[in-house]
Amino acid sequence: MSIIPKTVHPDLQKERYNASFDVEEFAMWWHGGEEKLKFKRFLESYVLDDLDENAFRFQNLSHEDIYNSAVNDFIRLATKLRELQEKLNPGGTDIWPAYHSEPEVWGAIPAGNMFSVHLEMVVDCIRQQGTDEQFQKFGVPSQKLQIGGAYAQTELGHGTFVRGLETRADFDRDTDEFVLNTPTITAYKWWPGGLGHSANYCIVAANLYIDNEPKGLAMFMVPLRDMETHMPLPGIDVGDIGKRMGFAGVNNGFLGLKDVRIPRTNMLMRHSQVHRDGTFVQSPVPVLTYFTMVFVRCLIVRNMSTLLSIAATIATRYSAVRRQSPINPNDPEPQIIDHVTQQKKLFPEIANSIAYKLATTEVKKLYGQTSEDIKRGEFGRLPEMHALSCILKVLCTTASMTGIETLRLACGGHGYLVSSNMSNLYADAAASCTYEGENTVLLLQVGRFLMKSYPRAMAGKELVPTVAYLSEAIKHRTIEKWTGSWQDIIKALQISAANKISIAYENLTARRKAGQTEGEAANNTGIELTQAAELHGICFVVSTFFEEVKGLNSEKRSPALNKVLEDLLELFLVSTALKYMHEILRVIELSDDNLRSLQERLENVLKFVRLNAVAICDGFDYHDKTLKSTLGCYDGNVYERIFEEAKRSPLNKMPVPEVIHTHLKPFMKSNL
C-alpha cells in the first residue's frame, strides 16, 4: 500500500499561489502556442497515463534485462503511436514515427530507445543523401519500421576525424557491386545506437575506392541480418558494446565487415554517383555528405536543453520542499530555496535552459531554409549552418552537463540517489559532449570558419547573418560610455568575440609567416581558436534570447509574462557578462562601481526569480513520468517517495539475503 499522500505539499502549494503570472500562458509560450500545448498534453496522456510505475526501475536490472525491457517498451510505444496515427489521420501518410523523438514520450522508454538513431537520423540520411528511388526502396520501409537501421560512422580508432576512417568500399566492375571491409580492429564501427542486436540494416560511412584510387567518403546501405531469422549475414561481425554511463537500453553496437558485397545501387547517390562502368561523379559540394550530422546536432541542442530544464524542475521543486539551516539562529528552518547560494545554483540553470531552447528554434529555422536551398542547387549557406550547428551543440551540451551536475549538488545527498533521476540525466548529457562530434574538435571547426570570416569583415565585405556583428565590432572596438544596459552587455560580448577572433587570426598568420605549415599553425593556435569559437556562439545565444524577449513577439504576451521573461533575460545576460568578464575587460574599461553594479543586479534578479521559480518550472509542463524523479514530482511529496522507492529495492525483498547465510555468517564465525 502506498504511503504517498494524495495532496500537494503545502510549501509547493504556497509557491504556486504566490506566483505573479499565469503558468498556463507560460506553458503556451514555451510549447509554441495553445494548439501545440494541447496536443502535447494529449500525447503525454495517451502514452504515459496507463504505464506501470515499475517501468521506471530499470536501474535494478541486468544489462540483458534492461535491453529486453527496452524492446518491450519500444514495441508498446510504437504500437500506441501507430494506433494514434489511425485515429488522427486514417489511411494517411505515416507521421507517427516522428513522435518517437519528442520529449513528451521519453517517459515511455525510460531506459532509452534502441531505434532513436534510426528514427532521428537514418530516415533523414536516406532522404537527404539518397535518390528519390532509393528513398522509396529503403526510406519508406524505414519509416514504417519494416527496416530497422543504424548509422555507422564512428570507428573504434576514429571518431570526429571522418577523413581518417579506415572502412573501405571497393567497386567491383565485374559484378557491379561494392565490397566492404574493416581491415583492422580500429576500423570496426563502434557506438551506433541500435546496431548491437536491433538493426537489420545499417548506413555505413566508408571511403570509396575505384581501381584502388580513393574518391572520398560515401554512404552505403548495408544489410546486416537475415530478414527472417535475424541472424548476422556472411561477413558481418556485430554485437553490443556493453554497459555505458547512460542510455542503458539503446543497444550501442560494434560492426566488422569482411568482404561484404552489396549492389552498386546501395550507395546513396543523390549528390555523388558511381555509374555502371565505374565512372565517378563528384558531389557539387563534398560536405553535403555530412549534412545529416547538421540535422542531428540540431536535435541534440533541443534534447539537451530539455534535459537541463527537466533537471531544473526537479531541483527547484525539491528546494521548495526541503527545509534546513535557519538564516537567523532562532528562526525555524527555511525552505532551502530561500538561501541566496541555493538560488545561485538553481535559477541560472533555468535561464540557461530557456536560452538554448530559443537558440534551438532559430537554428531549426535556418536548417529548414538551408535544406530548401540545397534542393534548388544553392549551397552558399552550408558553411554557416555547419558552424552554427557545431557551436550550439558544443555550448548546449557543455552547459547541460555542468548545469545538471550543479543542480544535482543543489539537491544535497538525495541528489545522489538514482531515484532522483539526476544521475541518469547527467550521464545522458555527458555522453552528448562526445557523440556526433567531440566538442573540442567542433570548436576548432568553428574556429576555422571564423578565420575565413574575419578577413572578409576587415575588407568590408558582406558577411553571413550569424557573423555580421563582426563588421560593427571591428569599427567600434569598445563602448565609450558604459550604461550596463542589455544592449551594452550584448555589444560588449560581441566586441570581446571580435577581439578574440582577431587575436586568433593574428597569431595564426604570424605562425604561418614564421614557416609553420597550415596544420602546425592551426594546432598551435588551437586554444585561441576554441576560445574565439565559444565567444562567437555565446553572441548568437544572447542575441536570440534578447530578440525573443524584447522583439515583436513580446506584443503577443501579457505584461506579467513579459516581466518574468525579462527577469530571466536579465539573469542570463548578467551571469554571462560576469562569466566572461576577463574577456570584456580586455576591450572595455569598467570601473569598480560598474562591476559592483553587475554583482548587485545578479543578487537582485535572483530575488525576483525566487518569487516565480516553481511556477516557471510548472510552465515547462513536464509529466511526472517524464521527470522520473522521487524529488521532482508535481505533488512535492519527496520523503514519502524516497522511502517507498527504497522499500522496493530488490535487496529488501527478503529480511535476510541468502548470501548472509551462505557466505557472510560463516566468515564472521571463522575467527579470522
Annotated binding site for FAD: 154, 193
Q: Which three cell numbers stand for residue 147?
A: 527496416
How big is the chain, counted in residues?
A: 672
The 3-state DSSP class for residue 222 equals strand
Q: Measuring CA to CA, which residue among 154, 170, 127 is closest to residue 262?
A: 170
**Cell 565512372 belongs to which residue?**
279
Amino acid, res. 543: S
Q: Measuring CA to CA, which residue among 622, 250, 295, 299 is closest to residue 427?
A: 250
Q: Which three cell numbers stand for residue 418?
A: 538514482
* All residues at 6 or more sequence positions from 329 whose CB lies less than 8 Å from its CB, including other chains: none
H/E stretch holding 178 reads strand 177-181
Contacts made by residues 511-520, CB under 8 angstroms, sequence distance 24+: none
Active-site annotation holds for 44? no
Pairing of strands 168-172, 177-181: antiparallel
Radius of gyration of the chain (CA): 27
State the Cα–Cα distance between residues 115 and 150, nearest whole angstrom: 8
Q: Check the CA dihedral 423-429-435-440 and report its sign.
A: negative
Helix axes 23-30, 592-620, angle to 10 degrees: 90
β-bridge mates for residue 209, sequence order = 170, 214
State the Cα–Cα distance between residues 628 and 211, nearest whole angstrom: 55
Q: Measuring CA to CA, which residue among 251, 264, 7 is closest to residue 149?
A: 251
**232 Rama sector, left if φ>0, alpha if ψ -120 to 50, beta otherwise:** beta
**152 Rama sector, left if φ>0, alpha if ψ -120 to 50, beta otherwise:** beta
Q: Which three cell numbers stand for residue 10?
A: 503545502
State the Cα–Cα distance between residues 534 and 443, nearest whole angstrom: 7
* All residues at 6 or more sequence positions from 36 whose CB lies less than 8 Å from its CB, including other chains: none
SS (H, E, C) 347-386: HHHHHHHHHHHHHHHHHHHHHHHHHHHHHCCCCCCHHHHH
Q: Measuring CA to CA, which residue among 442, 401, 433, 464 is closest to residue 530?
A: 442
H/E stretch holding 152 reads strand 149-152
Helix axes 340-375, 291-321, angle to 10 degrees: 160
* All residues at 6 or more sequence positions from 381 whose CB lies less than 8 Å from its CB, including other chains: 366, 369, 370, 373, 464
SS (H, E, C) 570-635: HHHHHHHHHHCHHHHCCCCCCCHHHHHHHHHHHHHHHHHHHHHHHHHHHHHCCCHHHHCCCCCCCC
Please identify which of the residues 44, 155, 436, 570 carries the catalytic annotation: 436
Amino acid, res. 172: D
Q: Which residues are tagged catalytic? A: 436
